[in-house]
Structure 1
Amino acid sequence: MSILLALDASSSACSVALLRRRAGADDELLSRFELAPREHTRRLLPLVDEVLAEAGLAPASLDAVAYGHGPGSFTGLRIAAGAAQGLAYGLDRPLIGVSTLAALALGGHRRHHFRYLVTALDARMGEIYVAAWQCRDGLPEPLAEEAVMPPARLRLPAGHADHDWVGIGSGWGLWDAMPAEVQAGIGQHLPDLEADAADMVLLAARAFEAGEARPPHEVQPVYLRDQVAWKKAR
């Protein structure tokens, strides 16, 4: 059995989720999600307490802690990183950083069954954080590396333009600045969807089972500001 806790404050939303995974039994997933602009510091740890209380667990029951490591709001990422690292250090547990763009893709797949997604977040300063995904076996696989760029430079991944693409995330609020060929290739775009710890904890569980959890000091936020190219995923 493994028990993981994930928390996120990368956007205007604040969320926490707990996954209890037992061999031969269904997963138990408990979560809280609030739209709480500028209140992440006040709300994040109380949401952790609420989820643990609902599960009937003490923090020491956790096997690992995860958090949305970005990209996203610089302030929110630092708040989540500090809270997650503090929990992991205090409990002597490993830490797992989870991509907010991957979590958006998984959320779109789990809730709406989308298979081909371009997740984009408004990075301010006339740019977007963006990545492209194909969902297989219930999980997102990258078709292009995560990057930051002006929306006018966005392109759909080469060789995949004929798929039924869906855009998810606040970056799609900059629709009018995107190239005509991208607009033509996107069947629908949902700019109001936010990353959710309920999706992050599932991605974290995959990483944990693959032995990818790390000591708390080795896990850092991902800002992407030093990456400006849209590259094919390895």
Structure 2
Amino acid sequence: MKILALDTATEACSVALNLNGEIVEHFELLPRRHSRELLGMIDNLLKKQNVSLSDLDALAFGCGPGAFTGLRVATAMVQGLAFAIDKPVVQVSTLRALAQEGLRVHQSNAVLAAIDARMGEVYWGAFKAKDGLMQPVINERVIAPERVIVPEGEENWLGMGTGWQFEDQLAAKTINCFPDAYPRAADIAILAAADFNEGHAVPAERTRPVYLRDKVALKKSER
């Protein structure tokens, strides 16, 4: 199986290949440069691994939540590539990817993932590991830090994501947190392979970003 994954939902920009379970990734922090750098990163990664687009079984991307502009960049890129080679797309939650990173890097089976949503809110989700893959245990939402939802139970939760810069405001406790963690294409590639095998890929024309919020910024009267 060969899957190309990409993510531009936050300040980070990353692309990864899942080659029969072996993950190769290129990750950089590129604020406001995703649209200029992403295609080159994809091209370089494919060339280094001697893989062509036509060799792929599917493409995957971090569908959100995250920055509106970043999500549109990723959606447009994955749609264009998928149309070109007539291959399906796997949409992976950026919060779930953060949780998978918590499992992969920190061996945590219970992760509270949070991304800074601006406007005094965070994108929020809770995940637990099952068979080596993180699965949601609450519905993802955008919410004020002091109103976040934590599933019941005595879990040793790990915090992942930029939303944890508001740790002193979050109504959640963890054994540790990593506010400098970003969603990564490597984890999207891992999750996408399993989702693809379970039949969750969709045609390119059905790919959609997941915003969770309709407003980009507060109105002057709301500030």
Identity of aligned pairs, percent?
44
Partner of 2:220: none
1:173 maps to 2:165: yes
Q: How many angstroms apart in 2 are the aligned matches of 1:50 and 1:5?
A: 12
Partner of 1:231: none
Partner of 1:131: 125
Q: How many angstroms apart in 2 are the aligned matches of 1:29 and 1:152?
A: 37
Q: How many angstroms apart in 1 are the aligned matches of 2:83 and 2:98?
A: 28
**Which aligned pairs between 1:111-150 and structure 2 lie closer than 5 A?**
111-150=105-144
Q: How many angstroms apart in 1 are the aligned matches of 2:73 and 2:149?
A: 32
TM-score by length of 2: 0.93
* 2:169 partner letter: A
SS of the residue 2:194 aligns to: helix
1:81 maps to 2:75: yes
Partner of 2:217: none
Count of residue pairs brought into register by the alignment? 214
Q: How many angstroms apart in 1 are the aligned matches of 2:102 and 2:167?
A: 18
Partner of 2:16: 17
SS of the residue 1:114 aligns to: coil
Structure 2 portions without partners, runs of 5+ = 215-223
Q: CA deviation at 1:137?
A: 1.9
Q: How many angstroms apart in 2 are the aligned matches of 1:51 and 1:219?
A: 23
Q: How many angstroms apart in 1 are the aligned matches of 2:198 and 2:145?
A: 35
Q: CA deviation at 1:155?
A: 3.1
Q: CA deviation at 1:153?
A: 0.4
TM-score by length of 1: 0.89
Q: How many angstroms apart in 1 are the aligned matches of 2:70 and 2:49?
A: 26
Structure 1 portions without partners, runs of 5+ = 22-26, 227-234
Q: How many angstroms apart in 2 are the aligned matches of 1:44 and 1:150?
A: 32
Partner of 1:37: 31
Q: How many angstroms apart in 1 are the aligned matches of 2:212 and 2:106?
A: 28
Which stretches of structure 1, 4 residues or more, deviate above 4 A after TM superposition? none
Partner of 2:151: 157
Partner of 1:46: 40
